[in-house]
Amino acid sequence: MDSSVSSAVHLPPSQSDSLVIPKFYNVNKQEDAHELFLHLLDKMDEAEKKAYRNPKHVSILQEMFGGECRQTLTCGNQDCRHASHTTQPFSDLSLDLLSRDRDLTGSLDDFTREETLSQDNQYKCEKYHHIDRIY
């Protein structure tokens, strides 16, 4: 004898409006697991800040997954060498782990490798306002 069991959870409209997944899910839009994970982290972070009634509260998720990326632009003009520093918070890094059989250390080295900006992506020096190569 075949038997099947099905179950469903039915929530009143006021409770279902506050759920995370229905707001993220869209039938006509493809989402991947990474996007869903980041969305869930963001919603949990918001909920913790709301519970503490402090938007500047550092949540446990920020402590576990958060970091800060620092970028330094240094003018290539030998007489200038002005350095500009910016920081940006992150909860994930996009690393290339698939090419050349690389490991995490090699991918992090590539992510933090120094680049030279020139020609099409030159940068205007903040100090003397000249355009030169940037490192």
Spatial separation of the C-alpha atoms in residues 4 and 125, rounded to whole Å: 70
Local confidence pLDDT in tens for the 135 residues of the chain: 444 554 444 445 544 445 555 555 665 666 678 888 888 888 888 889 899 998 888 889 889 988 999 998 888 778 888 888 999 988 888 888 777 677 888 888 888 888 887 777 777 777 776 666 655
Q: 77 with 126: CB under 8 angstroms?
A: no
pLDDT at site 15: 45
Query: Are residue 73 and residue 59 in the same domain, yes or no?
Result: no
Q: Structural domain tally of the chain?
A: 2
Query: Are residue 55 and residue 76 in the same domain, yes or no?
Result: no
Strands (E), 60-126: 67-74, 83-90, 123-124
Residue 7 within any structural domain of the chain:
no
Domain that holds residue 25: 12-65
pTM listed for this prediction: 0.57
Query: Are residue 135 and residue 71 in the same domain, yes or no?
Result: yes
Residue 17 within any structural domain of the chain:
yes
